[in-house]
Structure 1
Amino acid sequence: MSTKEVEWDGIPVPRRYWAILAIAMGITVSVLDGTIANVALPSIAGDLDATPSMSIWIVNAYQLAIVVSLLSLSSLGDIWGYKRVYIAGLLIFSVTSLVCALSTSLTQLTVARVFQGFGAAALASVNTTLIRIIYPRRFLGRGLGINALVVAVSAAGGPTIAAGILSIASWPWLFAINVPIVIVALILSCKFLPSNPVKDSGRTFDWKSGIMNALTFGLLIFSIEGFTHDMNWKVLLPMIAAVFVIGYFFVRRQLSQTYPLLPVDLLRIPIFSLSVGTSICSFVAQMLAMVSLPFFLQHTLGKSEVATGILLTPWPLATMIAAPLAGKLIERVHAGLLGGIGLSIFAGGLFLLAVLADKVSGVGIALFMVMCGFGFGLFQTPNNSILISFAPQNRSGSASGMLGMSRLTGQTTGASLVALMFVMFPVDGTYASLYLAGIFAFVAAVVSFTRVSLPEPELLRGNAKKKS
């Protein structure tokens, strides 16, 4: 194996701006498509003669495809090149988006969503790695701040954007609108994205690990979904057993690999593993809140759909302010401290919503939403900076994949926990979800503060030295 080391410190402007725009456009549509179809499920089910329960697969197929392929595609990025994987993802996403829009049956739409998920996974697997090689070392936090902003706003704004599209067009346009956006992103990517500055010529993809990874995480998601939807225990228990058995052999195989698909080598670094844990907890909290809040505002507080949309809007707007701000602060403040402060604000906003939302005016609710969005945005950028900066440059794809897996695992778990809260607390399920979200955010804040005693990555420390 030969590794070609290259001194690399970003690409110059204005090429850098066009490159980050290409990434932002691709990530926006891929994250949006994880939630944008939710609003239209009743209409889609009616048009395609499908039952409501079967129509859920339009959403689940997309998420499942991402989960089972993300780490494998991250590894392929390290081997084949991050730019190649990203462009391949854009091509797959554009074609499958068009197929989704033209689908005339639930089966056709579901299959198209599976392949669309593979395209989205390719984009998510290398996007933060590309930012690492696009931005100079001293400005890495700013680049990751922009990326965190795009992901957070896209995830939170999906239902609102879907409602806007459906107010003037039918459900196929939810998918068709992706095509021109992705074509522009594809043109920009081909012209402005840099190739890998480091490549391992002797490294090959571990297909056995790829299959074991897909089975482990795929069965895990199926088990979580089955538990929250009262799946027969005769089916659920063998599935859970299979997760542990396959997962055991998967992890055991990774421990013996030079370049493990699941980056166990990076997870041995305390601050890296703690950052993965805080990321999962933060997205569990976010999804608990974002799924339960519409029910809370409409059913518990009696708000209309329009009022609900207006009251939810301050969350992504606050994130838009906090994420880039955190990207600049990370150059001076320890990432663990900055993340802990952000998570504390996030937890405070969630608890205030649970305790006081039915006692204050709409302005008060909006302020609590601002706290949630600002705190979440303030946490994500420094946390992502740790995850990406600690990996050697030829392992950046693995770190990027782990970042994406943390988000997906947290979001999937959070959505399932909302369903569980509604089953356990039929009357107060929305309150229970918000309290549980606050607990997850608080625990993550405590863990984040413990990272202050641990050394930051050399890359971030180098930024601080340059600024001092």
Structure 2
Amino acid sequence: MSGWRGNPWAVLLTLSLGFFMTLLDLTAVNVAIPSMMGSLHASLDEVLWVINVYILVLAALLIMFGRLGDVRGPRAMFIGGVALFTVASVLCGLSQDPAQLIAARAVQGLGAAALMPQTMTIIIGTFPAERRGVALGVWGAVAGVATIAGPTLGGLLVSTAGWRWIFFVNVPIGAIVLLMAVRLVPDIRQGNRRKLDVVGVVLAAMTLVCLTFALTEGQRYDWGVGIWALLGGAALLLGLFLIHQRARQHDEPLLPFVLFRDRDYAVMSFVAATVQVGMLGLFLPVMIYLQSVLHFSALTAGLVMAPAMVVSAVLSPVSGRMADRIGGKYVLMTGLTLFACGMAWLTWVTDVGRAWWEFQPALIMSGVGIGCVFGPMVTVAMYNVEPAMAGAASGVLNTIRQVGTVFGSAAVGAVLQNRLAVSLQDEAAERAAGLPADVRGPFLAGFRDAARSGQEAGVGQNGAAIQLPRGTPTGLARHIEQAAASTYEHGVVHAMRPTLVLPVVVIAVGAVSCFLVRRRQSTSPRTSPEPVDLGTPV
């Protein structure tokens, strides 16, 4: 293996495996949500924190760890990040309650934040300018495939071995990546030491924490004054962060404003965020619906997504080549439009009692769209970036993507919780009319209080804890259980439809924004064979 040390393609394989591992958990966790809720007795907002805390730590610390990579070397930070991520995966799998799992996921996000920015730095430093576009295309395709593959692989693991194995599976992968990184990845740092903007990191992290907490816990606290204060605080902190960054533009800022003078890069940054909102908007409610309403197993739910995964994987490299020939602008617009249309179609199809094949046309259309997004998006974003700014540009783009993921997960979760609380009460009121008078109160109270106590959406649950009077006849109890199950199933469907509207609208806005992308004027990217400044933050 030592003979392969420094080989660009061997290095790319190593980096892609590590990158794939971190992104896989973003969507694999979604398919395990109902099982985790049942096993750990967790509420919907607690499980949302299992998703959000990982993304939150990743988004807040991504650029900071890019800076640390400048000081310690990207190879050392990559190896350390993989090791930390692997250990945290073991802790996730061993968790016995929601608090332990949330804490372990935070550590997992720390490891992902340490390794992820180093992948782009090492790629840029390893590949010559004329091959860098192909390497970045592969890197972008890995992101798309990992995001789509998560539900299918996660479903297989949850159904055959249990939800804990979506974390334990990272252990052998992490061990292989560690071995390959030590043997294959060269130390390419140039010795440039960069300043770490601690104030900027703190302001960015506090902004994201306030926003995420407010959106995730808003329904539990009735969207009261405290929640709105947190949202206002997030806006204030964001303003302070931007002011602070403006003051540091000549002193190595976390967010170099000069990058956004390139209109294509600015547009692609926005598009990257919209795509992540769409991805989270697709997986989070759909996985709950498939398992809790249609009663699919985790494996079946994952396999429902498999055709879209295959289509996306096949189209990703093809769309990259098309972007080189006709320009990424038109490929991206087509992909985003198909993605939005597919999700809108899915919204229309969703109902109680559907068969798995009824979702395939909508999901395949979404898969085609996703396959036409990731590679061209990176290509268009980096096309006019000077080599000396490539590290900073890729780091900011990655961070914006993860911020979009944080916002998407929190916002979609907030809409889902709010709509679920309303729809469950409406459905319960409709079905309570057919119940005896002495059980109507407990029946309605169980669903009315669900929002305050944390909605349950796990396998075999009905969204509420209903206390029946003592001595309730068996036949009546069964009738009440059937009414509760019907209330929950129809309530989830009615909550899903407006929830899916949010990502559809966001993706459509992203598609329209592609009109602002300039037409390509040349056939080769604006790069030079000169060495890239690897000290630039990622």
TM-score by structure 2 length?
0.74
Structure number with larger C-alpha Rg = 2
Displacement of 1:45: 5.8
Counterpart pick for 1:148 among 140, 144, 157: 140
The corresponding residue for 1:192 is 184
The corresponding residue for 1:76 is 68
Query: Are residue 278 (structure 1) and residue 299 (structure 2) matched?
Result: no
Mapped partners of 1:292, 1:421: distance in 2: 10
Displacement of 1:49: 6.8
The corresponding residue for 2:483 is none
Counterpart pick for 2:405 among 397, 404, 411: 411
Mapped partners of 1:456, 1:222: distance in 2: 46
Query: Are residue 324 (structure 1) and residue 338 (structure 2) matched?
Result: no
The corresponding residue for 2:451 is none
Counterpart pick for 1:352 among 335, 345, 351: 345
- Given that residues 295 and 430 in structure 1 are in contact (C-alpha distance below 8 angstroms), is that contact kept between their aligned partners in structure 2? no
Q: Specify whether residues 99 and 292 from structure 1 end up closer, same or farther in structure 2 by C-alpha distance, changes over 3 A only.
A: closer
Percent pairwise identity: 25
Mapped partners of 1:447, 1:79: distance in 2: 37
Mapped partners of 1:298, 1:104: distance in 2: 22
SS of 1:452's equivalent in the other structure is coil
Q: Specify whether residues 77 and 250 from structure 1 end up closer, same or farther in structure 2 by C-alpha distance, changes over 3 A only.
A: same
Mapped partners of 1:47, 1:15: distance in 2: 45
SS of 1:37's equivalent in the other structure is helix
Query: Are residue 437 (structure 1) and residue 437 (structure 2) matched?
Result: no
Query: Are residue 220 (structure 1) and residue 286 (structure 2) matched?
Result: no
The corresponding residue for 2:381 is 387
- Given that residues 54 and 106 in structure 2 are in contact (C-alpha distance below 8 angstroms), is that contact kept between their aligned partners in structure 1? yes
Mapped partners of 1:345, 1:13: distance in 2: 42
Q: Any residues of structure 2 matched to 1:276-315 within 5 Å, and which?
A: 276-294=269-287, 302=294, 304-305=296-297, 308-315=301-308
- Given that residues 81 and 112 in structure 2 are in contact (C-alpha distance below 8 angstroms), is that contact kept between their aligned partners in structure 1? yes
| Residue type at the aligned position of 2:319 | A
Displacement of 1:354: 3.5
- Given that residues 158 and 164 in structure 2 are in contact (C-alpha distance below 8 angstroms), is that contact kept between their aligned partners in structure 1? no
Deviations 1:261-294 (A, max 9, x none): 1232212322111111111112212222222334
Mapped partners of 2:413, 2:37: distance in 1: 21
Q: Specify whether residues 344 and 244 from structure 1 end up closer, same or farther in structure 2 by C-alpha distance, changes over 3 A only.
A: closer
Displacement of 1:297: 5.5
SS of 1:387's equivalent in the other structure is helix
Q: Specify whether residues 199 and 389 from structure 1 end up closer, same or farther in structure 2 by C-alpha distance, changes over 3 A only.
A: farther
Mapped partners of 1:345, 1:128: distance in 2: 29
- Given that residues 59 and 406 in structure 2 are in contact (C-alpha distance below 8 angstroms), is that contact kept between their aligned partners in structure 1? no
Mapped partners of 1:276, 1:186: distance in 2: 31
Q: Specify whether residues 243 and 51 from structure 1 end up closer, same or farther in structure 2 by C-alpha distance, changes over 3 A only.
A: closer
The corresponding residue for 1:26 is 18
| Residue type at the aligned position of 1:127 | T
Displacement of 1:408: 2.2
Query: Are residue 256 (structure 1) and residue 247 (structure 2) matched?
Result: yes
Displacement of 1:381: 0.9
Mapped partners of 2:207, 2:79: distance in 1: 27
The corresponding residue for 1:114 is 106
Mapped partners of 1:454, 1:338: distance in 2: 13
| Residue type at the aligned position of 2:89 | S
- Given that residues 228 and 417 in structure 1 are in contact (C-alpha distance below 8 angstroms), is that contact kept between their aligned partners in structure 2? no
Mapped partners of 1:105, 1:350: distance in 2: 34
SS of 2:525's equivalent in the other structure is helix
Q: Specify whether residues 449 and 361 from structure 1 end up closer, same or farther in structure 2 by C-alpha distance, changes over 3 A only.
A: farther
Structure 1 unaligned residues grouped into runs of 5+: 1-11, 464-468
- Given that residues 153 and 319 in structure 1 are in contact (C-alpha distance below 8 angstroms), is that contact kept between their aligned partners in structure 2? yes
RMSD across aligned positions (CA) = 3.4
The corresponding residue for 1:91 is 83
Query: Are residue 17 (structure 1) and residue 9 (structure 2) matched?
Result: yes
| Residue type at the aligned position of 1:416 | A
SS of 1:238's equivalent in the other structure is helix
Displacement of 1:375: 1.5
SS of 2:212's equivalent in the other structure is helix
Deviations 1:421-445 (A, max 9, x none): 4434735333334444333222212
The corresponding residue for 1:165 is 157
Displacement of 1:390: 4.3
Deviations 1:64-105 (A, max 9, x none): 221221121223334443323222211211222233334455
| Residue type at the aligned position of 1:339 | L
The corresponding residue for 1:401 is 395
Mapped partners of 1:47, 1:244: distance in 2: 37
The corresponding residue for 2:512 is 446
Q: Specify whether residues 36 and 440 from structure 1 end up closer, same or farther in structure 2 by C-alpha distance, changes over 3 A only.
A: same
The corresponding residue for 1:131 is 123
Displacement of 1:119: 0.4
Q: Specify whether residues 453 and 173 from structure 1 end up closer, same or farther in structure 2 by C-alpha distance, changes over 3 A only.
A: closer
Displacement of 1:39: 4.2
Mapped partners of 2:63, 2:243: distance in 1: 16
TM-score by structure 1 length?
0.83
Displacement of 1:180: 1.7
Mapped partners of 2:180, 2:15: distance in 1: 9
Q: Specify whether residues 176 and 200 from structure 1 end up closer, same or farther in structure 2 by C-alpha distance, changes over 3 A only.
A: same
Structure 2 unaligned residues grouped into runs of 5+: 424-490, 530-538
SS of 2:253's equivalent in the other structure is coil
Q: Name the count of aligned residue pairs.
A: 450
